[in-house]
Chain A
Amino acid sequence: MTSSSMLRSGRGASERSARTERASLLGPGLLYVTAFMAVPVLLVLSYVVFQRGRFGGIVYEFTLDNFSRALAETYRVVLVDSVIIAGAATLLALVIGYPVAYAIAQLPDRWRTIALVLVVIPFWTNFLVRTYAWIVLLSSEGVVNRSLISLGVIDDPLTMLYTRGAVVVGLLYAYLPLMILPLYASITRLDPELREAATNLGASRLRTFRDITWPLTLPGAITGCIFVFVPSLGNFVIPELLGGGKTVMIGNVVRDQFLKARDWPFGATLALFLIVVLVLLFALQSVLSRRYSTGGPR
């Protein structure tokens, strides 16, 4: 019931019953999010200022040691490395995803839907299976090496698995659909008349892209970059399976601090980095999308 109908009916109990309705609809769901997300996340983030107990567990004594440890050489390298690897996967996804999303948007309706479903299907297949497929492809006895050797292109197998490149490819493969979908959404929202106008005014195709298409689809590109970068940054499975333990990312360290070293405060401190990056990216996105939201139809 809306407030306007409440005013019209004018029954004495209606205000109270509306409040009950509101509470019974909103209450359970919001409580659930609070209990199973907000409280857990705040709890673990509170650990960053506490100490690890001798046998694991938390000693509630204030300390800033976790931060100085996280910024020491060993872990600084891991943080920077993780950003570089996740950034490389994101950049590749953007470079590959943009023309693909653009092409899909140009397809006739029927083919569009089919192309989108084809983009989504790999994303809905088990993530571990998709990662495993790259072991089969890239291993020294793998499909790629065998094919190249039997074709006579190479004599000895190339080392492709257990490299940083393999990790980047794995991340790219895992999250590429998350780049294509928001890009596609923002490209289809473009008003074609804007591009026609630019062409009619004598702009080259490159100029039209640079001054019209790209700025107007930038919000979609940023969303795509966040969707790829954020899960890539915290991933620990792909670095482990395709990096062979040689490529360590933040996710691996957090996992090990929680499940092996049982140093939860330190693990939480490294995880804080993931949250900070997420918040910064969303702030950037809201600034940029406000700046560019005035151009296209919506």
Chain B
Amino acid sequence: MKALGWLRLPLALCFAFLYLPIAVLVVMSFNGGRSAFSMGGVSLRWYAELAGDSELLRSVVNSLLVATGATVIAVVLGTTLAVGLSRYTRSAALDAYAMAPAIMPDLVLAIGLLAFYSLVAMTLGLMSVMLAHAVFGMAFVVAVVRARMAQVDPSLEEASRDLGAGALTTFVRITLPSIAPAVVAGALLTFTLSLDEFVIAFFTNGPTTPTLPISIYSMVRFGVTPEINALATVLLLISFTVVIAAARTTRPTEVLDD
């Protein structure tokens, strides 16, 4: 800590910048008054309001369904693809292709998918959002699992094959256990990214199937109510728990390391 010197100041200012807005929302969520901007006594009334908001709860269920489906698709396809890329090809172009959805601007992917769904006359709803979320989730699963595969000794797989195990047996008993932490990290990543994803869902959801971010968007657009503060606090609590749980299994920069 002593080595930091004057660098302590930017560090402290940066954390103040990152956490002040969040802290304000949390404090405001216990507001007893009607204003979202100032405190009028302390109460849990906005949490009660939140719990009784059936439309919002329905969008939470929608989001959970979408995220679960997208995660299953992304993990199955992403894991097999990452293993295939590591063991069966040296093509940098295929690698880039598999991970491209992660860097594609979300707006471009969103309008592309809208155009595509309209061309194939697919009904917009939870399914169209889920299929869309799976494609970028898969790119993140590939990135994480691919990094892990680089550390797995291929001679283990060869030994298993030479001892007579089939391709599937080798995959399930040798490859999968050695990449399991990465698969779990990829799944967590896909699930949380999907829950939070707004732009693609905004373009590809159906008229009666809002996901949670879409509901939040309309709440925020139609005026500021203290209910959002309570919702924000609940979401913050969930993210804190997930991030801290994930940090215990993987390094936070793993995905960005090249």
Residues of A in contact with B (beta carbons under 8 Å apart): 1-2, 4-5, 8-9, 17, 21-22, 24-26, 28-30, 32-33, 36-45, 47, 96-97, 99-100, 102-104, 106-108, 111, 113, 115-122, 124-137, 139, 141-143, 146, 173, 176, 181-182, 184-185, 223, 230-231, 233-234, 236-237, 240-241, 251, 254-255, 258-259, 264, 267-268, 271, 274-275, 278
Chain B residues near A268 (CB-CB < 8 A): 111, 115
Which residue from A32, A184, A258 sits with its C-beta under 8 Å from B134?
Answer: A32
Chain A's nearest CB lies how many Å from the CB of B151?
16
Chain A residues near B104 (CB-CB < 8 A): 37, 41
Name the prevailing secondary structure of the B interface residues.
helix
Q: Which of B41-49, B51-59, B95-103, B179-187 contacts A (4 or more CB under 8 A)?
A: B95-103
Given contacts A129-B231, A234-B105, A237-B198, 15 further A-B contacts (CB under 8 A): A1-B170, A25-B81, A25-B84, A25-B87, A99-B11, A125-B235, A126-B196, A126-B212, A127-B196, A129-B228, A134-B21, A231-B105, A233-B105, A254-B111, A259-B203
Nearest A residue to B76 by beta-carbon distance? Answer: A28
Query: Is B114 engaged at the interface, CB distance under 8 Å to the other chain?
Result: yes
Which residue from B4, B11, B138 sits with its C-beta under 8 Å from A29?
Answer: B138
Nearest B residue to A278 by beta-carbon distance? Answer: B105
Chain B residues near A133 (CB-CB < 8 A): 21-22, 24-25, 232
Which residue from B24, B158, B252 sits with its C-beta under 8 Å from A1?
Answer: B158
Residues of B in contact with A (beta carbons under 8 Å apart): 1, 3-4, 7-8, 10-11, 13-15, 17-22, 24-25, 28, 35-38, 73, 77-78, 80-81, 83-85, 87-89, 94, 97-98, 100-101, 103-109, 111-116, 119, 131-132, 134-135, 138-139, 142, 154, 157-158, 161-162, 167, 170, 192, 196, 198-199, 203, 212-213, 216-217, 220-221, 224, 228-229, 231-232, 235-236, 239-240, 242-244, 247, 251-253, 256-257
Enumerate the 6 nearest inter-chain pairs by beta-carbon distance, A residue then B residue, closest first. Answer: A29-B81, A25-B84, A40-B112, A133-B21, A40-B116, A103-B7
Which residue from B100, B112, B161, B253 sits with its C-beta under 8 Å from A185?
Answer: B253
Q: Determine whether the beta carbon of B112 is less than 8 Å from that of A126.
A: no
Bound: A237/B10 CA distance, A: 28
Q: With A39-B116, A128-B216 given, is the CB distance from A182 to B256 under 8 Å?
A: yes
